[in-house]
Amino acid sequence: MTEAKLLTTEEAAHYLRLSSRSLIRWRVERRGPPVVRAGRKVMYRLHDLDAWLDRHTYDMPRDQVAR
* Per-residue pLDDT tens over the stretch 6-29: 999 999 999 999 999 999 999 999
Is residue 17 within 8 Å of residue 10, measured between CB atoms? no
pTM of the model: 0.80
* CA 18 to chain centroid: 9
Dist. CA 22–CA 7, nearest whole Å: 16
Instruction: Please name each of the domains of the chain with its CATH number.
Output: 6-58 (1.10.1660)
**pLDDT tens, 34-46?**
999 989 999 999 9
Dist. CA 7–CA 50, nearest whole Å: 12
Cβ atoms < 10 Å from Cβ of 49: 20
